[in-house]
Amino acid sequence: MHSISSIRSKIISFRKSTIIKILLAAGLLTWFWFSLPNKLFHAPTSYVIEDKDGNLLNATIAADGQWRFPYNKNVPQKFIECITTFEDKRFFKHPGVDPVAIVRAIIKNIKNKTVVQGGSTISMQVIRLSKKNNKRNTWNKIKESIQAVRLELSFSKKNILALYAGNAPFGSNIVGLDAAAWRYYGRSAEKLSWGEMAALAVLPNAPSLVHPGKNRNVLLKKRNRLLDNLLEAGRIDSTGAALAKLEPLPDEPLRLPQDAPHLLQRFIKDNKTWQQETTIKTTIDGRLQKILPVWYSNTRLF
């Protein structure tokens, strides 16, 4: 009887232990799944109007004083090549966290006796950007790593790159690749050269480098090193890399196009009711829009 009672007690104890483990695992999985909010970014965006060909007609600064264009799922291939080469070479291979990069960073930092390299992936950086958390400590790194893995379960690699491109800082009050392309080079991101795209790709890592007259040599070295890495990786050829190095660095931010101002104001007014995306593609012919004011002004002289 004593033996049977002992066995029964062990079975009950085992069942309780198993149930606790199952509940604990279920709790952790539930926390893991819901650790990521439905919407990562809530910052206001600029109002943007485009012509029938997708060219920028006009735009306003966002409500928080930042030049931040609305989310754009289409990321130029040049930027993908540049940013993954510069920030996260194994981006398309890892699940959000890159153990190889972490080990490499630890070894390098120990050898230099200071932090000279981080192990953050682009996915981890998206999480950090969404939380606007600049505190770099072990606990935050662990949370970022877990949520980066969770991010990769809900978003494709291209969508993650689009989130990064749309919310990374590019110096001054410029946020996102689309706004940076127009403010620094006066054209859309897909029309940038290798030299221009490489210069923008290194900025989120150190946005202050873009300030005119400040740290220009550092920015130049970073851009050229990235171009060398792109050449080594076979992304560009030697002639393309050499020509890209001759291109000027971004300077003072440029004014954006100011065409169709009345349409922009109407769009802003109507959208306060619609509460939709703050970008709209119109049927306007952009070239004609630029010519008409000049033509009308000249005809009034006669």
Taking only the tens place, the pLDDT of each residue in 206-244 is 888 877 567 789 999 999 999 999 999 999 999 999 999
| pLDDT above 60: residue 87 | yes
Residue 33 lies in a domain: no
Q: DSSP characters for 185-228? A: HSS-GGG--HHHHHHHHTTTTSGGGGSTTSSHHHHHHHHHHHHH
Residue 266 lies in a domain: yes
Whole-prediction pTM:
0.85
Domain that holds residue 162: 48-299
| pLDDT above 80: residue 290 | no
CATH number, domain with residue 176 = 1.10.3810.10
Rounded to an integer, the average pLDDT of 271-287 is: 82
Residue 39 lies in a domain: no
Tokens found for residue 102: 């972490």
Residue 17 lies in a domain: no
Number of domains in the chain: 1
Residue 182 lies in a domain: yes
Residue 286 lies in a domain: yes
Structure letter (DSSP) for residue 169 = B
Cβ contacts of 1 within 8 Å, gap of 6 or more: none
| pLDDT above 80: residue 107 | no
Rounded CA-CA distance 53/33 in Å is 41
| pLDDT above 50: residue 186 | yes
Q: Could you tell me which residue, 302 or 5, shows the higher pLDDT?
A: 5
Residue 249 lies in a domain: yes
Residue 7 lies in a domain: no
Confidence (pLDDT) at 300? 46
Confidence (pLDDT) at 296? 42
- On whether the CB atoms of residues 268 and 47 are closer than 8 A, the answer is yes
Mean pLDDT of the residues in the chain: 86
